[in-house]
Amino acid sequence: MAKSKYEYVKQFELDDSLLPNTWLVVRIDGRGFHKFATAHGFTKPNDRPGLDLMNACAVAVMKDIQDVVLAYGESDEYSFVLHRSSNLYTRRASKIASTVVSLFAASYVFLWSRHFPEKTLQYPPCFDARVVCYPSDSNLRDYLCWRQADCHINNLYNTCFWEIVHSGRSEKEAEDELRGTVASEKNEMLFSRFGINYNAVPEMFRKGSVVVREEAEVTSLSAKTGLEVVRRKRIPTVLHVDIIGEEFWKSRPELLGS
């Protein structure tokens, strides 16, 4: 049973290395999450434990893969940014994307019960992944703006939509009523009709979640002395902040730095 006569089949594995010196963004996306959300009774428009679980998975990915410098999540999707200098898996696209999505999906099941202690997971979720190169810092920032603007637009719409539905209308009626409305009209509707100040909606829902490595004090026991040791370490930390403006980037020059 000589393996060697079959080994030629390895030649069919073509190289899929990504262009060096570009930002790599791995975006994972829930497949069939509408059905998944229904099957698990997720709250509409935002399910807090569900989003917390997504964030916990993102943190798990970042703890495992050091080359991820930032992650951004909203709804059932998450984007992971690898630094332009990263040489992870010699930048092979399939290797990078599959490792990230595998860790994320497996963590989702693994961490489920921590976030849903009273709910049984009915079936494992599924995510797809792709990896995209962005050549300039400004392209990368525009990518993240695109996702955060998407989060805002969807959340404003969904907040209105579910308020209308919860007020007794059908989903069809809610859709019809919202068709063609602009942001200011939706804000006004929420305020005058449902008594909701959109700006008071939790930032997690309006801005999505950003994970960056923030310095924090970490306390541990010294193996040698048995005493508590306090060290400063960079820990993946979930924030709900604006990443479109300059502020976020100015206060974290290391993110885009080399």
Beta strand 127-134 with 77-82: parallel, antiparallel or unpaired?
A: unpaired
- Under the binding rule (CB under 8 A), the answer on residue 121 touching its own copies is yes
What residues contact residue 208 under an 8 Å CB cut-off, 6+ apart? 72, 73, 74, 147, 148, 151, 240
Please tell me whether 30 is known to bind a ligand. yes
- Cβ–Cβ < 8 Å for 28, 101: yes
Contact with its own copies (CB under 8 A) among 7, 118, 217, 246: 7
Nearer to its own copies among residue 145 and residue 165 (C-beta): 145
Q: Which of 79, 99, 187, 209 binds its own copies (CB under 8 A)?
A: 99
- Of 43, 66, 85, 94, the one binding its own copies (CB under 8 A) is 94
Among 68, 103, 238, 243, binds its own copies (CB under 8 A): 103
* Residue 226 annotated as binding site: no
- Residue 64, marked binder: no
Stretch that binds its own copies, among 16-24, 33-41, 193-201, 226-234 (CB under 8 A): 16-24
Contact set for its own copies, span 171-210 (CB under 8 A): 183
Of 143, 161, 198, 205, the one binding its own copies (CB under 8 A) is 143
195 is in an annotated binding site: no
Distance, first Cα to last Cα, the chain: 51
- Report CA torsion sign: 88, 102, 244, 212: negative
- The nearer residue to its own copies, 157 or 162, going by C-beta atoms, is 157
Distance CA 173, CA 252 (A): 45
Taking the least distance from each CB to its own copies, the nearer of 126 and 196 is: 126
Q: Which structure tokens are listed for 125?
A: 């979720």
Residues annotated within the binding site for Mg(2+) are 29-30, 76
Residues annotated within the binding site for GTP are 29-34, 75-76
Residues annotated within the binding site are 29-34, 75-76
Positions that interact with its own copies (CB under 8 A): 1-3, 6-17, 19-22, 28, 31, 60, 64, 84, 93-95, 97-99, 101-110, 121, 123-136, 139, 142-143, 145-146, 149-150, 152-153, 183, 244
